[in-house]
Structures are given as C-alpha cells and as structure tokens.
Amino acid sequence: MILIHPPVAKPCEPPGGIARLSGALTAHGIRHKLLDANLEALLYTLQNTEPVIHGQHDKWTSRTFRNLADNLAAIKDQYIYQNIDRYKRAVIDLNHVVEMALNNNSIVGLSDYRHKELSPLRSADLIRAAENPEHNPYYPYFRKRLPAIIQQEASTMIGFSLNYLSQAICTFAMIGFLKQQYPMATIILGGGLVTSWMSNPHWKNPFAGLVDALVTGPGEHQLLSLMDVAGIKNTHCIPDFNALPLNDYLSPGLVLPYNASTGCYWNKCAFCPEKAESSPYIPMPVNRVMEDIGRLVVRIKPVLVHLLDNAVSPALLKRIAEKPFGVPWYGFARIDRRLTDIDFCTALKQSGCVMLKLGLESGDQGVLDKMHKGIDLNTASLALKTLKQAGIATYIYLIFGTPAETLPEARKTLEFIAAHHETVSYLNLAIFNMPVCGAEIAEFETSSFYESDLSLYTDFVHPKGWNRKQVRQFLNNEFKKHKAVAEIIKKDPPIFTSNHAPFFES
C-alpha cells in the first residue's frame, strides 16, 4: 500500500492525515509506504531549477535564483524569525523561484496551485487533468518518482489524501498517470475535500473508472476494510510519522500536527461548513490524547505541537494546563469565559501555549447573535486583554459579508479591532461564502459562482445589498488602511500565515 500527500499545500509540517492512516496500518501489520509528494515535488523542482543567466531576467528574479539555497536554509533557521522583514524577503523570494520554475499555464507557489484553464471545482476539468498528466508542472517529478516507489514497494494499491482545492488538479494528474502506466492499479481517494464533496446531498460520483474507491471522514477503518483486513481492531492507533522526511519541512524545527477530535463541539454557528456537512463531533478521550502526544514528543522530538481541532475542547485545554506536553503548542480555541481568567491563561502560557487562533468573525454583537456564534463581545474584549497579559499571542479570524452584516456593522468590527489593536497579534480576513448544502440556503436567492459541480459554496443575493464587490472595497479602502489595523497586518507571515506565526512568538 502506498499513501500519498499530493501537491500543493503548505510544506511546513508533516501531513497528519496519512500519518494517522499509517498508524492504523502499522498496528495491523500491513506493509506500506508514505509519500509526501507535496514536499518532495517542491524540493525536486528547486534542486533541478536552472539558475537564470545574468542579463536575461530582471534583477529581482536573478537575485532570487542566486540566493535560492540561502533562502531555503533561512526558512529552517529560527534566527530569521526574529525579524519579520528579513523573513518576508526570504519567503517571497523563494516563492518567486517556484513561480518562475513552474510557469507553464499555471500559477504555482509554495502553497498554491491554480491552473489558468482548469478548475478544481469542475469534475470534467479534473478528468482532463487526469487525461493529460504530462501538462502538469510537477510531471517531471512524478513520472520518475511514482514508478520507482511502485517498483520498490511491489504494490499498485495507492491512496491519495486530498484535503485542499490547491491539491485537486495535481492529484488527478498523478492518478491519470498511474492509470496510464498501471491500468490495474487500485486508486483510493480520501481526505477533507473528498468528504466535503460527498456530504453534498446531490453528490454523484463523476470519477468512476478513474478512482476505484472514495473514502469519507476519518479513513482508518474504511481503508482497512477496503484492504480486506480480517479482525480490524477498534482500538485507537497512534499516528506514525517515522516514514516521513521529518528533517526537510520548511520550518525551524519539526512541527507535530495532531487531531484530538473531528467536527466541532459547539456546532451551532449558522453557515458553518461543519454543520452544513452534518459532521459529527467525535472527541478522543483526553487521557488518550495526552498519552499520544507525550509518546510522539519523545519519539520524533518536535519543537512545536499544532493542535488541528476546529476548537480545542475545554477539557483538553484544562488538562494541558495541568500537565504540559513539554514543548510549545498552538491551536484553535473558542472565545469564552475561561479565557478571561488570568490564572487559567497564565497556566496555559506556562504549559507552552504560544498562540491561540480565535474565530471572532465580527465586532458587532447583533451579527454574532444572528450567526449563533455564542460569543459575547464584552467577554471577547476581556479575553483578548487577559491573553495579552498572560503572554499568549492571538490570531483573530474575521468574516465580512454575512447576511446579517452591512457597512455599519462592518465598521463596528473595524472599531473593535482598532480599539483592541494592542491585544490582537495577527488577523485573518475572509469574505463570506454560503455553503452549498447548508440548511440556511433556502432563505436566500442563490446562483453558482461558475459552472461547477464540485463547488462547496454558492453565490447569493445579500438581503441588504451588501454584495461581495462592496465588501472587498471596504476591506481594501477602509479596513486595511486604518493605521492600527495596517500595523497588525504587516506582522502576518506571508504564504505560511498562522503556521509560521508561532515562531515569531518564541
């Protein structure tokens, strides 16, 4: 069995999905191979990129190729994280090399892939990518790597973990290549994006004949069943990262990603994709989580733990505060009264918490109430101040253009952030998308963004006329130009964003 994490995603930490599958396969004595094709394809491209000839390119491009090795090393050195300007220059220069090296009808970077003609939202385009794998910018890599690993493992059962839209076209190009070269290969496709596709009540599989099996949700049990494993153990299996290139990721030390739950324990927010897809909340027992992370910390020696949960549960936060991992950590948490308790926040800080990601969404109480966020702005204000006092950085997520919001409400969000600018470390700004299968969709006039059968979102007529164009103008011309907000935005690490932000807080 070969499990593949395909291009293109942020190459800063090992993929947690195939590590969990590896743990299950290992526990059942099944030989398998993990391939982080995302990281390998990037490094292959950088190592096989011809330096530009002086005088044939602009000065910036010449400099980025000349400094390629230095910039690649710098991203893996904690020293550069002491200066955001030096960091930005290294990351942007490195990204430019990738863009120039892979500029063939695509826009490719360190964490992005967009084809100029094909869309990951159309199944017909994904099938076209499979029919013409030689057109993919990473074809020189996978035409060599995939046959080599198949010969080495003597296996043509191959699973792909497809989690992001930026991975879709490359995934299908690789699948198409495999089907051309190994017609009898068994292709299994799973991951977060596949789960979202299959959660749509109108889903009809367009990939029959190309993909042999589709896996939804946590895939350990389904994968073992597909492999006809007898006596499948229902006990939890610790993720296995050992087969991944742990020293090669683009971070200053190894980051350990870990899921302590699937779904969201709040699960009440209007328009939430988790709610729209009816994803159940399934937490792992806190003792199991602590045991797993403790063993993994000893085994692979990470410098940072990344909790991948939609929101780390109160029970787990409490346990971490009482019994730390022994290494720094960060993750998403809900804004509630626990975060207004200075003793609790101080204990979190002492446990190694360097940053919490917080989904505030809006600085207007009416908007929050209509979205059923369960957040009180007075509590949010006190939580931000308390976390700042405790020394914990905050990465605040905001959404603009929700059905309950208009310009006055958006300006209240601006006022809230400006008033709390000293307690907000980083900002993530997003424009609202309506989930295509959400229960609330019946209340609005909708239309497709484009002709796409795989889209997870739909366009809608805003009930108060606050359309996407106006939202974008407000963000660009007013919100981002506010002096206090602009200072926060300047600190955001480009491309790697929240994944690298903790390293600036160490």
DSSP letters along 31-98, please? --EEEEHHHHHHHHHHHTPPPPPTTSS-HHHHHHHHTHHHHHHHHT-GGGGG-HHHHHHHHHHHHHHH
CB 114 within 8 A of CB 169: no
2: Cβ contacts below 8 Å, ≥ 6 apart: 32, 33, 35, 149, 150, 153, 155, 157, 158, 159
pLDDT score recorded for residue 448: 62
pLDDT score recorded for residue 272: 80
3-state secondary structure 410-462: HHHHHHHHHHCCCCCCEEEEEECCEECCCHHHHHCCEECCCCCCCCCEEEECC
pTM of the model: 0.95
Q: How confident is the model at residue 356 (pLDDT cuts 50, 70, 90)?
A: very high
Measured between alpha carbons, how far is 244 from 115 in angstroms, rounded to an integer? 28
Answer yes or no: is pLDDT of 55 > 90: no
pLDDT mean across residues, the chain: 93
CATH 3.80.30.20 domain position(s) in the chain: 255-504
Answer yes or no: is pLDDT of 32 > 60: yes
pLDDT score recorded for residue 450: 57
pLDDT score recorded for residue 244: 97
Separation in Å, CA 304 to CA 244, 252, 461, 506: 17, 10, 43, 10
pLDDT score recorded for residue 451: 66
Q: How confident is the model at residue 443 (pLDDT cuts 50, 70, 90)?
A: confident
Q: What angle do CA 494, 495, 499 make, to 5 degrees?
A: 95
Q: Which residue did the predictor score with more confidence, 463 or 385? A: 385
Residue 483 token pair: 């002096």
Measured between alpha carbons, how far is 277 from 140 in angstroms, rounded to an integer? 37
CB 214 within 8 A of CB 189: yes
Q: How confident is the model at residue 53 (pLDDT cuts 50, 70, 90)?
A: low
Q: What angle do CA 403, 398, 425 make, to 5 degrees?
A: 165
pLDDT score recorded for residue 207: 96
Q: How confident is the model at residue 466 (pLDDT cuts 50, 70, 90)?
A: very high
pLDDT score recorded for residue 321: 97
Measured between alpha carbons, how far is 402 from 360 in angstroms, rounded to an integer? 13
Closest CA to 90 of 53, 63, 62: 63
Q: How confident is the model at residue 234 (pLDDT cuts 50, 70, 90)?
A: low
Q: How confident is the model at residue 84 (pLDDT cuts 50, 70, 90)?
A: very high
Residue 318 token pair: 């409490």
Answer yes or no: is pLDDT of 392 > 90: yes
Please provide residue 103's backbone torsions phi and psi, each rounded to the nearest 5 degrees. -85, 75
| Domain with residues 255-504, CATH architecture | Alpha-Beta Horseshoe (3.80)
Q: How confident is the model at residue 125 (pLDDT cuts 50, 70, 90)?
A: very high
Answer yes or no: is pLDDT of 56 > 60: no
Q: How many CA atoms lie within 13 A of 296 on its CB side?
A: 30
Point out the least confidently predicted range of 17-31, 91-105, 357-371, 435-449: 435-449
Tally Cβ neighbours within 10 Å of residue 75: 21
DSSP string, 465-477: S--HHHHHHHIII
